[in-house]
Amino acid sequence: MRRLTAILLALAMSPCLWAGDLAVRGETLYTMAGEPIRDGVVLIRDGRIRKVGPASRVHIPDGVTTLEAKVVTPGLVDAHSTVGLSGVYGARAGQVHDQDQLEKTEPVQPMLRPVDAYNASDPLIEWVRQFGVTTLHTGHGPGAVISGQTMIVKPRGRTPEDALVEEATAIAITLGPSVSANYETPGTRAKSVAMLRTALVEAQAYRTKRDDDDKPAGRDLKHESLLRLLDGELKAMITAHRVTDIAAALRLKEEFDLDLILDGASEAYLLTDELLEAAVPVLLHPPMMRAARETENATIESGRLLAEAGVPFAIQTGFESYVPKTRILLFEAAIAAAHGLGLERALEAVTIAPARILEVDHRVGSLEKGKDGDLVLFDGDPFEYTSHACTVVIEGEVVSEECW
């Protein structure tokens, strides 16, 4: 009995190794919650970060698997994508069976749920993950007055349920000429805004009738979705590039008290005072986006200009109609860093900044105690062309070990 007691006491005094324990040590550790840590360590237990700090202060228990790298960052957060709805095979001529990001039968469809179309096994998901993306804000893309909803996922698992962080995040709205290219109506900017305003007013009327009627009619999924938008349960993610369209988005925010996120925003640098006054964050277009038509005034220095003005923003990959249907977040952030944003602010724009804008910073975006154990291990400067994302970790699980 005395021997058993001694064994139990010794076990109680020793570090407890639970399944999934992992230690990550980096010559430079960017936590995005303070200054970079030289020779830093992150301890992960059961998928969550347990300790972060200098190696001199964070003891790695015996038996814990330890990974080492030149540079360690939080997992990258893609602020806006259509990956999972827009798949890799649509890149081949004539194959559109995996292109579900835009339904073209009608221009106002807020009830469309991305979880019903998300393909967790699409090769494109694995591909972006290998470049360090561990959280995706994805769903229905731009091109309709209201194209549907968005959600937040981790790029893992075989089903949407395996990947889900948040099933419904925003309703995707588009203002500008790209809508008229996909539908017979609207044909002009004013008509687009009028159709959106009409849909919101009809949802308000639906609520009044539903609440006042002793025997309400059957459910209306379109109106119910818009009521979640009007009640602030869902964000209004409005894709708008020109000053004209950005100004219209700001008016709609004021009129209907929308929780607005501006998407794309090629000319946002011309309206920084207005964006600051309205407290509207920006999911900025990819810096290397093609500048033509409604995006012709986009600049590769938009990130720097918004940062200097104090406008909260994050860098996104968006949707591309050509191979491979998405841009690479790591490369886009590198270009922004090289054109005035700098390494740490560019890293912020693809980690903690999008997490804050999407309100998931309690889980992702930085390396802090209690957050998800999502990390990327690099063999050099993350934004240097010759460096690679060699290991990607999602909630303590190594999901990629190839150097990309």
pLDDT of residue 1: 46
Three-state secondary structure call for residue 280: coil
* Level-2 CATH architecture, domain 76-364: Alpha-Beta Barrel (3.20)
For the structural domain made of 2-74+389-400, what CATH number should be given?
Answer: 2.30.40.10
Please write the tens of the pLDDT for every residue from 49-84: 999 999 999 999 999 999 999 999 999 999 999 999
Q: How confident is the model at residue 4 (pLDDT cuts 50, 70, 90)?
A: very low
Q: What is the pLDDT of residue 153?
A: 98
Task: Identify the pLDDT of residue 94.
Answer: 57
d(CA 261, CA 58): 39
Bridge partners, 73 (sequence order): 376
pLDDT of 19 over the 60 cut: no
Percentage above 70 pLDDT, the chain: 93
User: And the tokens for 242?
Assistant: 């020109």
Distance CA 395, CA 213 (A): 48
Quote the CA–CA distance of 46 and 19 in Å, as a whole number: 7
**Minimum mean pLDDT among 15-29, 96-110, 210-224, 280-294: which range?**
15-29
Residue ranges, CATH 2.30.40.10, the chain: 2-74+389-400
The 8-class DSSP code of residue 294 comes to G
Contacts of 191 by beta carbon, 8 Å cutoff, 6+ apart: 185
Task: For residue 357, give the nearest of 305, 274, 282, 246 by alpha carbon.
Answer: 282
Distance CA(351)–CA(96), nearest Å, equals 32
Residue 88's pLDDT band (cuts 50, 70, 90): confident
Q: 292: pLDDT confidence band, cut at 50, 70 and 90?
A: confident
CB-based contact 146:261 (threshold 8 Å)? no
Strand partners, 78: 136
Torsion of CA 275, 148, 164, 81, to 10 degrees: -60
The predicted pLDDT at position 99 comes to: 86
Least confident of 54-58, 97-101, 113-117: 97-101
- Please identify which residue in the block is written with the tokens 């972060």: 52
Distance CA 280, CA 310 (A): 11
Q: 194, 207, 259: which is closest to 229 by C-alpha?
A: 259
Which residues in the chain are classed under CATH 3.20.20.140? Answer: 76-364
pLDDT value at residue 404: 76
